[in-house]
Amino acid sequence: MLGGPKKKLLQINNLMDSYAKNIVHIGPSGHGQLTKMVNQLCIGSLIQGLSEGVALGKKV
């Protein structure tokens, strides 16, 4: 996933195809960083939930 002007994506598409299986344009500049922050919040919540489950399991 990446953000930025679509015109630039068309210019670098061949380069990105060499190392990326799926390329998704998600909006203007800054949206790539926003998507990464949302992903990190989701992963952090999962890790917190798993650790709470392990801690509860150890107490029982």
Spatial distance between the Cα atoms of 11 and 39, rounded to a whole number of angstroms? 27
Closest CA to 2 of 42, 15, 43: 15
Q: Is 36 a catalytic residue?
A: yes
Phi then psi for 26, rounded to 5 degrees? -110, 5
Q: Which of 6, 7, 21, 36 is catalytic?
A: 36
Would you please indicate which residues are annotated as catalytic (active-site) residues? 36
